[in-house]
Amino acid sequence: MTREGMDLVKNPDGITRFEARERLSGPLHAALDGTVRTNFNLGDYETASFAAMKAVEVAVRDASGLDNSMVGVKLMRAAFQPHQAGKAGGPLADAGAEGGEQEAASALFAGAMGAYKNPSSQLVRPLHTLLAAGEPVTVDQLAARADRPVAEIREALAAMPDTEYDAEGRIIGYGLTFTPTPHRYEVNGRTFYTWCALDTLAFPAILGHIAQVTSPWRATGEPVRLTAAPDGPTDVEPATAVVSLVTADVPTSMRVSFCNQVHFFAGADAAKNSLAEHPDAKILPVAEAFDVGRPIIEQILADDTASDCC
């Protein structure tokens, strides 16, 4: 029996992930073969789907010649606007197709683009921005920041079960948190924490600041230190430090199934020894882990700047 087969015997859930990898075992378009495949194989299907749809958005904009200000659903509707009698349609609409077929194509692209942009994802950057000010966040404050009705904010928060609240019902953590975790995150004299190692690399790009990160190597308690900037990490100590990325099952809590397993280690060997229970885990140098997280950053930034697209 191969090593992979033995791992599957020890971890039956891995069969599902193995089958998932097999679905993308063939060649993909060059725009999808890097980030999409990597995140899909890690089990982060949401990020993989976003990266794929982002590539579709870019391809449609390039092919249609529409302005860069056109994004999301608006872009799809403009590009595939059906032709009508006496009125030209969108640049990508098939003038030779029947009207119903043109309508179907327009609805397909607009619907697919709208499906991956949702109210919860559009709250992430406004919420992180408010948390970064160092004070608990009320629902009213978040609604004002996101320019959304309070009722919609409450509904979206209900779909974010990992959100942390204080005794007064104010938000104190979602990825970026006031509650101590192993991942210490210092910005302009303020001390925060994050749920996982990948968060420390992503938040500077999302929030536009520089953070000093300290996170203990789990085996010894010795810290991994780095400077996290919007364009990536620098001054990583030790230079051999790596980040563990585990395959996430379909979770009730993404924090439990994914975030709590994503850590810094002093080196690859140390990570392998600590991740014996996660044979599918990826071990990446810190800079490469930042690159894997880029689609998440792009998703959050896109949802914030183009929240009216759907």
DSSP letters spanning 120-142: HHHHHHHHHHHHTTTS-B-HHHH
What is the arithmetic mean of pLDDT over 41-57?
79
Other beta carbons within 10 angstroms of residue 33's beta carbon come to 12
Give residue 253's region: left, alpha or beta (phi > 0; psi -120 to 50). Answer: beta
Q: Are 7 and 1 in contact (CB under 8 A)?
A: no
Q: Is residue 302 part of a domain?
A: no
Active-site residue flag, 231 = no
Indicate if 109 and 142 belong to the same structural domain. Answer: no
Task: List the CATH number of the domain containing 143.
Answer: 1.10.10.10
Containing structural domain, residue 286: 177-297
Quick check: 174 pLDDT over 90?
yes
Tell me how many degrees the CA angle 76-82-87 measures, rounded to the nearest 5: 125
Q: Is residue 307 part of a domain?
A: no
Supply the pLDDT for residue 310. Answer: 31
Active-site residue flag, 259 = yes
Q: Is residue 308 part of a domain?
A: no
- Which residue did the predictor score with more confidence, 307 or 22? 22
Query: pLDDT category, 250, cuts 50, 70, 90?
Result: very low
Task: List the CATH number of the domain containing 238.
Answer: 3.30.450.410
Supply the pLDDT for residue 193. Answer: 98
Indicate if 43 and 95 belong to the same structural domain. Answer: yes
Supply the pLDDT for residue 137. Answer: 98
Indicate if 167 and 210 belong to the same structural domain. Answer: no
**What is the full DSSP assignment across 55-102?**
HHHHHHHHHHT--TT--HHHHHHHHTPPPBTTB---TTS-TTS-HHHH
What is the arithmetic mean of pLDDT over 46-66?
86
The type of residue at 60 is V
Indicate if 266 and 191 belong to the same structural domain. Answer: yes
Indicate if 196 and 92 belong to the same structural domain. Answer: no
Please give the mean pLDDT across all residues of the chain: 83
Quick check: 251 pLDDT over 60?
no
Indicate if 44 and 100 belong to the same structural domain. Answer: yes
Supply the pLDDT for residue 69. Answer: 75
| pTM (whole model) above 0.85 | no
**Residue closest to 198 by CA, chosen among 173, 231, 233:** 233
Catalytic residue among 259, 280, 304, 309: 259
Query: pLDDT category, 90, cuts 50, 70, 90?
Result: very high
Active-site residue flag, 196 = yes
Percent residues over pLDDT 70 in the chain: 82
Catalytic residue among 196, 280, 303, 304: 196
Quick check: 147 pLDDT over 50?
yes
Q: Is residue 62 part of a domain?
A: yes
Other beta carbons within 10 angstroms of residue 176's beta carbon come to 26
Catalytic residue among 199, 280, 303, 304: 199
Of the segments 84-88, 95-99, 113-117, 197-201, which one has the largest average pLDDT value? 197-201
Quick check: 151 pLDDT over 80?
yes
Indicate if 138 and 226 belong to the same structural domain. Answer: no
**Residue closest to 137 by CA, chosen among 99, 166, 104:** 166
CA distances from 240 to 118, 268, 273, 284 (A): 38, 8, 15, 10
The domain total for the chain is 3
Q: Rounded distance, CA 14 to CA 201, Å? A: 28
Indicate if 167 and 235 belong to the same structural domain. Answer: no
Q: Rounded distance, CA 284 to CA 201, Å? A: 13
Give residue 188's region: left, alpha or beta (phi > 0; psi -120 to 50). Answer: left
Indicate if 181 and 293 belong to the same structural domain. Answer: yes
What is the arithmetic mean of pLDDT over 183-190?
96
Point out the domain boundary residue: 68, 100, 115. 115
Supply the pLDDT for residue 288. Answer: 92
Say which residue the tokens 């979770």 belong to.
251
H helix or E strand, kind and range, residue 206: helix 197-207
Reduced to 3 states (helix: H, G, I; strand: E, B; else coil), residue 38 is: helix
Supply the pLDDT for residue 1. Answer: 64
